Structure formats: C-alpha cells, structure tokens
Structure 1
Amino acid sequence: MIVYNKLVRDRIPEVIAASGKRCEVRVLDDQEYILRLNQKLQEEVQEYLADQSVEELADIAELIRAILEFRGVSPDQFEEIRRAKQEARGGFSKRLLLVHVSD
C-alpha cells in the first residue's frame, strides 16, 4: 500500500479502479480544500519550472480555475481583473527587466 494524502483530480479514483486497484478517498472540508489547492499549485509550479512542460501549465490553469470557483470568482470576473491590471500596468510581452530606480 502506498500512502499519498494529496489532492487529486476528480476522475483519479475511476482511473485507479480501471487499473484493477482499490483506493480510499475522502471529501475535504473548505479549510483543508483551499490549503490542499494551494499546496498542489505550488507542486505544479515547481514541476513546470523543472521541465517547462505545457502539460504542467495545463495543471496550473486547472488549479487556478478550481481556486477561483472556491472563492466565488467567475472566469469572466477573473478576466476583468486580469485585463484591468494589464491596462494599468501592462503585460510581459516587452520582456522588460527593471535594473534599478534612482531618486
């Protein structure tokens, strides 16, 4: 038996069962759910930084979607926030590195 104690995607128990194995899962309360979402986000960001995989970016996007849903923020509201920040402060397409600021 391997103990994982980690947040997994919704269909993982089905995938495990289809492979002929058994697993135990439990439903998290709100406090532990957001904690585990944040932990999983950190894990996926580290995995992306290690291998630069677009697959890892997809995992990060799915976690962001789940966190937004948990916080009651719609994808449209999130896009409005992102767009407002981009309009006010710009994006990252110019590849600017701030070296220093002087008085």
Structure 2
Amino acid sequence: MTYRKLSKYNKINEKTCNRLVRDKIPDTIKTDGRKCDTSIVAGDERYKLLEAKFQEEVNEFLKDKNLEELANLVEVLFGISDSLGYSEEELLKAIYKKREERMRFRKGIGLKTAK
C-alpha cells in the first residue's frame, strides 16, 4: 500500500508499506485527506503477509505490553487461521480443547527438568 501526504512545504511524501492492514485502514487514510493504493492479496502472498504482521504485532506487544497489542495479536491469529482454512470458531474450539487437556499458563509453572 502506498499513501501520499502533502507536507507544509507542499512536497509530496510517499511511504511504501507493502503490508497487510485492517479492512478499514484505507478508508481512514482517505478520510484523513491522504491517498493510498491497495490490492487484495490471497493465497500464499496473504499468508506470508499475515506472518509478517504477526511478527510486527509480537514486537509491538513486547515493547508496549498492553491489552490493545494483545487484541491485535489475536486478530492476526484469526486471520492466519482463516488463511489456513479454519474458522475463528474452530480455532477457539482447539484452544478450549487444549485447555481441557493441559490447562492454562496461569500457575506460572516453570519446568526445570524432566526424566
């Protein structure tokens, strides 16, 4: 995606993004008076962009450690799930099944050794 923004000096600054964005981001850019070029990506290209977005969101969470960044991570996971052919419901069922089998990470158990 590319957007153009007029600076206070009337020079055109263009930023090349080439990344996946949430569905309403192009509208937000246009509402802000800027322009953007978008395309619909699918298949392997979409999956690769989702992986890159996941890494970006992990890095942002590790930096900021807040609920908003956690929500972004979950949303990207739903996108990855969809890209692999699974619905959000199927992903959530797999999470709940895993919880039943092995519980959660709430107790803070660190495994030091296993024989």
Number of residue-to-residue matches in the alignment: 102
Measure how far apart 1:99 and its partner are.
1.2
- Counterpart residue number, 1:92: 105
Q: Give the aligned CA root-mean-square deviation in angstroms.
A: 1.3
- Pairing 1:31–2:67 present: no
TM-score (norm 2): 0.81
Measure how far apart 1:28 and its partner are.
1.2
Measure how far apart 1:48 and its partner are.
0.2
Q: Select 1:50's aligned residue among 63, 78, 82.
A: 63
Larger helix fraction of residues: 1
- Counterpart residue number, 2:72: 59
- Counterpart residue number, 2:29: 16
For residues 1-51 of structure 1, give each alpha carbon's deviation from its aligned partner in whole angstroms, at most 9, with x where no partner exists.
111111111111111111111111111131100000011001101110111
Deviating runs (4+, > 3 A) in structure 1? Answer: none
Measure how far apart 1:65 and its partner are.
1.4
Q: Structure 2, unaligned stretches of length 5 or more? A: 1-13
Letter in 1 for 2:16: V
Identity %: 33
TM-score (norm 1): 0.89
Q: Structure 1, unaligned stretches of length 5 or more? A: none
Larger strand fraction of residues: 2
